Amino acid sequence: MANLIDGKLIAKDIRDQVARDVESYKKKGLDPKLAVILVGDDPASVWYAKSKEKAAEKVGIAFDFYGLPADSAEEDVVSLVDRLNQDDAVHGIMVELPLPKHMDKDRIMGMVNPLKDVDGVNPINRGYILQGSEGLFPATPESCIECVLSTGVDLTGKKAVIVGRGETVGKPLVFMLLKYNPTITICHSRTKNLADEIKTADVVIAAVGKAGLVTGDMIKEGAIVVDAGVNEVEGGYVGDVDYESAEKVAGYISPVPGGVGSLTTVLLFRNLIKGLRLQGK
């Protein structure tokens, strides 16, 4: 039976450190602040934005919420991002996705000041990932790595298989994980003999968005299995890994919910603190 990778417990440790960092900044007269922009009134997006506000309050981070109508002009959002970039009292900026279809997502994300880009969406921060430099990196890949590192297993020379090559998780994760010296294989919808590839892995990270894609018979005994999938089913959410069969084989496994997703919000806050340091504050 696998050891549980408890995302909530990992998140608590990071949250406690963020709260200490925030308190240190406040003692120096700086009040860390996050600004979140939401265009439209999609219920799920509104809920996520409001949940960030509650989480920010717990660690002492000030929170500004900007809600714009779905039919807002793209220039209105660009103008708001530009204004927040210039505001020295705002230290982190996040634009909630999805944006309305009439807006150029890449343009808007590219407008966010890289040092305030808590979600790691600016192309400059993406470039820092590739060259191994310091930057602000996306929260979900960071969460996957935190889950793996929590096991205490040295990744040097281990084989890691990432299932999924999406822009949000799979692609950035490849280069972020390389820092820890595993040998990485990335699989996708056109990979032949997917089960055979996964079976060789010491570490499996699933980020496809297909419920139950990875089953226990695909997993090497004792492997670390991190599930970054989120799939809505009747009665809730499940991951990309068939948890029931996988936990019988894996050495460590993260659940859905309670795994990767439990970390993402607090990692946004950690990025805000990191951004302050990169700004020399």
Is there a contact between 80 and 68 (Cβ–Cβ < 8 Å)? yes
Digit-coded pLDDT (tens) for 100-154: 999 999 999 999 999 999 999 999 999 999 998 999 999 999 999 999 999 999 9
Burial class of 191 by CB neighbour count within 10 A (0 to 12, 13 to 18, 19+): middle
What integer pLDDT is reported at residue 61 of this predicted model?
A: 98
Cα–Cα distances in Å, from 32 out to 17, 93, 115, 266?
14, 12, 13, 14
3-state helix vs strand vs coil in the chain, percent to 5: 45, 15, 40
- Residue 46: the pLDDT is 87
pLDDT tens for residues 92-101?
999 999 999 9
What does the pLDDT read at residue 122? 96
C-alpha closest to that of 88 among 120, 119, 116: 116
> What is the pLDDT, as a whole number, of residue 45?
85
Whether the predicted model's global pTM rises above the 0.85 cut: yes
Q: Which residues of the chain have pLDDT under 70?
A: none
Which tokens belong to 200?
A: 């060789």
Are the beta carbons of 214 and 242 closer than 8 angstroms? Answer: yes
pLDDT of 18:
98
Predicted local confidence at residue 44, as pLDDT: 82
Domains of the chain: residue spans and CATH: 29-116 (3.40.50.10860), 139-262 (3.40.50.720)
Give the single-character DSSP code of 100: P
Tokens of 201: 């892995």
